[in-house]
Chain A
Amino acid sequence: MYTFDYARPESLKDVATALRKQGEAKLLAGGQSLVQALRLRLAHPPALVDLQAIPELRGIAVANNVVSVGAMTRHAEVAASREIQRAIPALAKLAAGIGDRQVRNQGTIGGSLANADPGADYPAAVLGLGANIVTNKREIPADKFFLGLFETALKPGELIVRVDFPLPLRAGYAKFRNPASRFALVGVFVCDTTSGVRVAVTGAGPCVFRAKRMEKVLAKDFTPQAVEKIVLPAEGLNTDIHAQADYRAHLVTVMAQRAVEAAAKL
């Protein structure tokens, strides 16, 4: 690690002040991505602004058909939340499948979304459920949030405060894990709502994206068989030592089927 300054503000206002003081400062949430980057000397921010002590960033609330999850909510809290298990069981299940116990006790939804790792799980739920990302400046609909590889719509000085998930009719998530990292090699979140079906794919591309053709057929026939024949073009999908693009394309189809199956069961 390089040396850095450290601040632990106790309100959103103080965060803003800290960020104004040190424009290059980085927000620290669970540290599960950032600390690694620091330790490997891949990142060298002059200052860290730790979000742990800010009450506004915490908590889970269900009201008016919306599940609100504070940015600093740990994966383990989402996984264990009775309210979320009742309202959007697929979301609780997704959180329970992130990393390992230590990571889930430490990592946060805000950190995961801001980081926008191509293999992260949460982005699939956020895009699949059509959530709103509420920041200290504005509300960003999921469709406008993920811009590319580790790239989001967040502006300098902007931080995620919470995520608002509208309640779906039913939803399901299926993840095929990278054998090494256990991030999503391919993860597919399907969500059936009154205004249509949404299918979000993570792991397969530079960032999470929607599989519109699948959405169309599932809107008519919400069964695994409906998507069995729909295979995404491999072009543009990720290729690495674990999976080439054509295999990922195939896995998207299989995971979509399994996500639909899971949605039907939950």
Chain B
Amino acid sequence: MSESLLGQSVRRKEDYRFLTGSGTYTDDVTVPGQLYAFFLRSPHAHARIRAIDTAAAKAAPGVVAVYVGTDLQGKVNGLPCGWLITGIDGQPMKEPVHPPLAQGKVRHVGDQVAMIVAESLNQAKDASELIEVDYEVLPACVDPAQARAPGAPLVHDDVPDNTCYVWGLGDKAATDAAFAQAAHVTTLEYINNRLIPNAIEPRAAVAQYHRGDDSYTLHVTSQNPHVERLLMTAFVLGLPEHKVRVIAPDVGGGFGSKIFLYAEETVLTWAAGQIKRPIKWTAERSESFLADAHGRDHVTKAELALDKHGKFLALRVHTTAGLGAYLSTFASSVPTILYATLLAGQYTTPNIYCEVTSVFTHTAPVDAYRGAGRPEATYVVERIVETAAREMKIDPAEIRRRNFITQFPYQTPVALCYDIGNYEGTLSEAMRVADVPGFEVRRKEAEARGKLRGLGYSAYIEACGLAPSNIAGALGARAGLYEAGEVRVHPTGKVTVFTGSHSHGQGHETTFAQVVAQRLGMSVEDIDVVHGDTGRIAFGMGTYGSRSIAVGGAAIVRALDKVVAKGKKIAAHLLEAAEGDIEFENGEFTVAGTDKKVPFAQVALTAYVPHNYPLDKLEPGLNEMAFYDPTNFTFPAGCHICEVEIDRATGETRIVNFTAVDDFGKIINPMIVEGQVHGGLTQGIGQALLEACVYDKESGQLITGSMMDYALPRADDVPNFKVSTQETPCTHNPLGVKGCGEAGAIGAPAAVINAITAALWPLGVRDIPMPATPQTVWRALQTAPKARSGRA
């Protein structure tokens, strides 16, 4: 057997196109007769629209159409939410209407008020300034912690207390009882800071209507074009699904923010049908800040009960989650199903109860963002575990070891069943790589330079490979979560793979080609991977939740199984042997125990030129497709160790070492995995040190509306990461893979804050909120009970 292609750092096939500027992004798509759209957005967080006068805009040069909310009434429905959460009162969540253009009221700064369509973008913008909107400005509430306060302004008149639902998971009574037995209780309050995704490519769409057959083509920056089409046709526009083709061509990053069905492309598609001309819209960066779905935004109180040996007895968590002004596509599931189910972490905590109150605020919608719920859960667990260790004077690694799950499968008290893991393995390897024993020497040396040095852990777990459809359905999902894959063998033996997964930076064109090449004994150059087009791919649920290789890859493997099975039948016929005696390896079908063989390419040719072929028993052709529905989630896990130095004089934190040892199961392409980890860690560090979406509490204005105020991490904000992997293969998918796209963003924040608080603990500082900006840390030092004077 030749060397396996699985586990090889094959160079990314797609990079030639990206690095030479020959990719095709949505904004590169230009269609003859194309018009341009511009959205007039609300300057207020909350206001009643008394009147809108569009007459001057409509008469402006180049303007073809101007639409406002009332123009859409009865024609375009509200945007749907894909996950129904049922509250602890047994009631379904509140689903206020989410109109694609504001109707009667605006509910956040950036809410779409009007769409102007013109011959040029500048003309559309000029005309937008001629629209007169008579607003009655109303008080706004932007803080989830205040959304239920008496007298808080309501986001939706029909949603009392701004409360979408109060939801719970776990055994409350048993948890409360366990607290009564505790030798020690650690309590922490957290704000999981609201983030703005900032994919490098802003959202964009080009909608076309084809008169000839009354159909539509929509190019759009989407992570899941089939879902986009399904939601748009079935729920919002009422168009026949087969008459709409959605293409998500090259997409420059998403991090979750391009999963959702947004207002802009919906109105654009509808309007293209009205005007019967193509229309393009490309978000400006300022619009991305205002109107992309944001992430996180939790306010949490957690308590951990321990016995006197540091064994965890129970965890009790109360979270208020901000949803923004409207329910985005998967908003309801993120702070519930994707969050509370992860609160066991890597530990045997026998009793867990979590209650989540999700509230509307006068802010942009909040939805899945890299990690989606799991970073929030990891932060809760790993911060409180580390704090408990410090309070009880137990080494933080040791307290984790005392509580690790070691027997698999393991049923947690919060619904999930972990199939496999090795938490001691990743912890001890991370400690070795991070040279934990040498830390004290490094700390002393730093102290001599006036720096506070700290080391913190984060032993995270995530649930990926979303998801078994029946389980997801029972939990409220309004969609299946399988994936589709098709392997088309051409007459010459070359292969095109059609996948329902979508690559927007993840390198699927390479990784998936490796999987196929390995199985068929071919080279990756002989395989092309097609994704992101409802016109070419049967179906797909798309890419998010680190599901592509675990679910999309598995579907391809299932299709390959069918290709090989059919190939064996053809080979048996050609070799005049029994089908059961045919083996397939290294690209050749052989009769077991003989030297009789036929290469794959010849079998492919025979399938398409079936002159010598069992036509009575077998269809010609070699094109197989499969749907794969996973039987469980996958559970990537690992250990991150962060070491920081804090400048006492300025409060500035530098990350001096960062170690990540991750268990992603089997690895197909280590280089791509490493890249995913680097990106994830950087985003996690961004959340911990830099990023904060800030709305003005009074006016509801977005203060961090540009890069001038929203601090994204830059290359020099992060150290040279030390990353490596360990493999405990997933037990229930054919590749043994778990997924790696989100792990960095999930694990890193707690590791960073644990490192900072470790450095500050001797001064009496227990906690530092994210982002731990220089000012925040400096203030903590100013008020630290045991702080000595700083030095420059």
CB neighbours of B692 from chain A (8 A): 241
When chains A and B are docked, how far (Å) is the Cα of A243 from the Cα of B703?
Answer: 14
CB neighbours of A243 from chain B (8 A): 775
When chains A and B are docked, how far (Å) is the Cα of A253 from the Cα of B649?
Answer: 10
Q: 8 Å CB contacts to A: which residues of B671-712?
A: 689-690, 692, 694, 703-704, 707-712
A244 interface residue per 8 A CB criterion: yes
A contacts with B, residue count (CB < 8 A): 24
A181–B792 touching, CB < 8 Å: no
B792–A241 touching, CB < 8 Å: no
Residue of B nearest to A1 (CB): B122
Given A180-B708, A250-B778, answer yes or no on A241-B694 (Cβ-Cβ < 8 Å). Answer: yes
CB neighbours of B703 from chain A (8 A): 241
Given A179-B774, A241-B694, answer yes or no on A254-B649 (Cβ-Cβ < 8 Å). Answer: yes
CB neighbours of B726 from chain A (8 A): none
Main SS of the interface on chain B?
loop
B724 interface residue per 8 A CB criterion: no
B690–A179 touching, CB < 8 Å: yes
Q: 8 Å CB contacts to A: which residues of B638-657?
A: 649-650, 652
Given A241-B694, A247-B779, answer yes or no on A176-B708 (Cβ-Cβ < 8 Å). Answer: no
A74 interface residue per 8 A CB criterion: no
B792–A224 touching, CB < 8 Å: yes
A6 to chain B minimum Cβ distance, whole angstroms, is 15
Given A224-B792, A241-B703, A247-B779, answer yes or no on A179-B773 (Cβ-Cβ < 8 Å). Answer: yes
A183 to chain B minimum Cβ distance, whole angstroms, is 8
Residue of A nearest to B694 (CB): A241
Tell me which of B125, B689, B779 contacts A41 (CB under 8 A): B125
Tell me which of A179, A180, A228, A240 contacts B792 (CB under 8 A): A228
A181–B708 touching, CB < 8 Å: yes
CB neighbours of B652 from chain A (8 A): 176
CB neighbours of B70 from chain A (8 A): none
When chains A and B are docked, how far (Å) is the Cα of A41 from the Cα of B649?
Answer: 40
B649 to chain A minimum Cβ distance, whole angstroms, is 5
B286 interface residue per 8 A CB criterion: yes
Instruction: Please indicate which of the listed interface residues A247, A251, A253, A258 has the most CB atoms of chain B within 10 Å of its own CB.
Output: A247
CB neighbours of B773 from chain A (8 A): 179, 242
A181–B775 touching, CB < 8 Å: no
A251 to chain B minimum Cβ distance, whole angstroms, is 6
Please, could you name 18 A-B residue pairs with CB atoms under 8 Å apart, sorted by A? Answer: A1-B122, A179-B690, A179-B711, A180-B704, A180-B707, A180-B710, A180-B712, A181-B707, A224-B792, A240-B709, A241-B703, A241-B709, A243-B775, A244-B775, A247-B778, A247-B779, A254-B649, A258-B792
B709–A247 touching, CB < 8 Å: no
Given A241-B703, A254-B649, A254-B792, answer yes or no on A3-B122 (Cβ-Cβ < 8 Å). Answer: yes
A44 to chain B minimum Cβ distance, whole angstroms, is 11
A125 to chain B minimum Cβ distance, whole angstroms, is 21
When chains A and B are docked, how far (Å) is the Cα of A78 from the Cα of B41?
Answer: 42
Residue of B nearest to A181 (CB): B708
B709–A181 touching, CB < 8 Å: yes
Given A41-B125, A254-B649, answer yes or no on A247-B708 (Cβ-Cβ < 8 Å). Answer: no
A266 interface residue per 8 A CB criterion: no
A40 interface residue per 8 A CB criterion: yes
When chains A and B are docked, how far (Å) is the Cα of A174 from the Cα of B792?
Answer: 12
B682 to chain A minimum Cβ distance, whole angstroms, is 15
A202 interface residue per 8 A CB criterion: no
A38 to chain B minimum Cβ distance, whole angstroms, is 12
Residue of B nearest to A253 (CB): B792
A242–B649 touching, CB < 8 Å: no
CB neighbours of B126 from chain A (8 A): 2
When chains A and B are docked, how far (Å) is the Cα of A241 from the Cα of B126?
Answer: 33
A196 to chain B minimum Cβ distance, whole angstroms, is 23
Q: 8 Å CB contacts to A: which residues of B119-142?
A: 122, 125-126
A180–B711 touching, CB < 8 Å: yes
